[in-house]
Structure 1
Amino acid sequence: MRVGADDEQPALGEEPSADGCDQGLEFPLSASIDGEIPMGSERMEMRKRQMSVQQDTPSSVQAPQATSNRASNACCFCWCCCCSCSWNEEGEEGSRKPSHEVRTEGIQIPSFEECPSATLEDVVSWGQSFDKLMSTPAGRNAFREFLRTEFSEENMLFWLACEEFKKEVNKNAIKEKARLIYEDYISILSPKEVSLDSRVREVVNRNMVEPNEHSFDEAQLQIYTLMHRDSYQRFMNSSNYKDLLQSFSESTPES
């Protein structure tokens, strides 16, 4: 019996179309060990290839994204974080000031005043009188080191700034240095503000209209008195002074 065109089977290697027509595309066939082409293996092989391509595609797409994210995360996205990073770097650079001095803008105050080495007699005299302690650079250095432990070093810094200010004779320099001292130690906005009563603060405010070398005399005296009555007593009882006294006593040979 004659077989009709609709009953014809697709030739080997052809893919039947969805509607049953013999218009499929030819696919390469993989031969078996004997050189023969196994039936249906081409379809399975093509599906495996398609699946492997689909699985590999997401990973290849995600890799550049991950790389991009790592690159973009090299710095913070938000402006506040970036500013904070810049600020920290500048802060580190700005904090690398010479350790031997403290600057109050136009007024240079040494961290430790240059002076001859103290003697046992000097250290003993510091415990007898606050005036003797403050009259010698070595005594001021030792007392200032103690004030740092109490976070009240600004009192000594202000006193030293006033001592330096009194030596100025140039009128223009007096006005500028008076402004700097006021901003650093008198202004309520300054982190180094010293403790002054309202009367003395008012005197300083009036003196700032036409400043001269004595504009801070009353304020300096009040801070000097404050250190004498408050910090000096604790300094005498502190390990700072006792250890210093002991070290000099042990290093001095007995006569």
Structure 2
Amino acid sequence: MGSEQVEMGKRLPQDNAGHAHITTPNTHMLDSVNTHTLGWLSAPPNACCFCWCCCCSCSCLTVRPSKNERIPERTSEKQTESEVEEVRGPTLEDVRSWSQTFEQLIKSPHGRASFRQFLKTEFSEENLLFWLACEELRKETNRTAVEQTVKQIYEDYISILSPREVSLDSRVREVINKNMLEPTSHTFDDAQQQIYTLMQRDSYPRYISSSLYTDLLKSLEEPQPPNES
């Protein structure tokens, strides 16, 4: 290659001033070049790899956020709404409804939280925790998860070795022992009903009469308007 370039340099025509003059290649020389190669060489710097036109409407040149970039925004919005809901707390109407029936109390997240706080003072929090665990178990459909959850609930609330053992009669315990042979999402239905009745008849009336509930009720009551003279 070096000798060819030197030889070509020697044959370059010169003008009257003695400067070398480079002539334009013939058209037939350009035709022999691979058109694909020319495409690469002549492509605009911002063109995509599949479009070699200069049209600005090419969809490849438009930058769009990916799905992964948009998902966190939606998740963040949902978390914010949930946090606002928790910060708001129960309304006066909510708290008043708790005194109507035990069902109204236990189906309310804020009601359960307040009732659980009361049960702690009576050292019977495990009753509510067992009832809630059974509620979650009844929603489970995966067989493996059901078996694992049944075993965990038994160890936490049924076993006599557990510090959080709930109070159940011998009949219900016998039913549980039979159900444990083939665990299902309804293994503890009888036990859950018995604990529900226990809380409804025993703990619930004391909670409604407790200072914890009455103080919460008073804190939400609107002040009476002043009497007009």
TM-score (norm 1): 0.53
Considering only CA atoms, is the larger Rg found in Structure 1 or Structure 2?
1
Letter in 2 for 1:223: I
**Where does 1:66-145 land on structure 2 (aligned, <5 Å)?**
117-145=89-117
1:232 aligns with 2:204: yes
Equivalent pairs: percent with the same residue?
63
Quote how far apart the aligned CAs of 1:114 are: 5.4
Shift of 1:168: 1.2
Decide whether the 8 Å contact of 1:154 with 1:194 is kept in 2: yes
| 1:177 aligned onto 2:149 | yes
Amino acid across the alignment from 2:172: V
Counterparts of 1:125 and 1:170, CA distance in 2: 36
Distance 1:169 1:116, change over 3 A: farther
1:251 CA drift (Å): 6.7
CA distance in 2, matches of 1:177, 1:222: 20
Q: 2: distance between equivalents of 1:223 and 1:115?
A: 30
Question: Cα distance, 1:121 vs. partner?
Answer: 0.8
The secondary structure found in structure 1 opposite 2:139 is coil
Partners of 1:115 and 1:137 within 8 A in 2: no
Q: Which has the higher contact order (CA 8 A, sep 6+)?
A: 2
Report the Cα distance in structure 2 between the residues aligned to 1:116 and 1:183, rounded to whole angstroms.
Answer: 36
RMSD: 2.1
1:161 maps to 2:111? no
DSSP 3-state at the match of 1:128: coil
Q: Confirm or deny: 8 A CA contact 1:115 1:138 kept in the other structure.
A: no
- Structure 2 residue runs of 5 or longer lacking an equivalent are 1-84
Q: With the length of structure 2 as denominator, give the TM-score of the two structures.
A: 0.59
